[in-house]
Amino acid sequence: MIKIIIKTLLFVLIFTAVLNGQESTVSSSSGDTVFVMEKSPWGAVLRSAILPGFGQFYNESYWKIPVIWGIGALLVSGWVHNNGLYKENGDLFIQSGNETYRQRRDFYRDQRDNFTIYLVITYLLNLVDAYVDAHLFDFDVEENFGSAAIRMNYRLEF
Q: Is residue 7 part of a domain?
A: no
Beta partners for residue 25, in sequence order: 36
State the pLDDT confidence band at 38, using cuts at 50, 70 and 90. confident
Q: Is residue 155 part of a domain?
A: no
| Dihedral over Cα of 93, 99, 103, 106: its sign | positive
Q: What's the pTM?
A: 0.67
| Domain residue limits at 91 | 39-135
The per-residue pLDDT for 151 is 61
**62 phi-psi bin (left φ>0, alpha ψ -120 to 50, beta other):** alpha
Q: Is residue 23 part of a domain?
A: no
Q: Is residue 29 part of a domain?
A: no
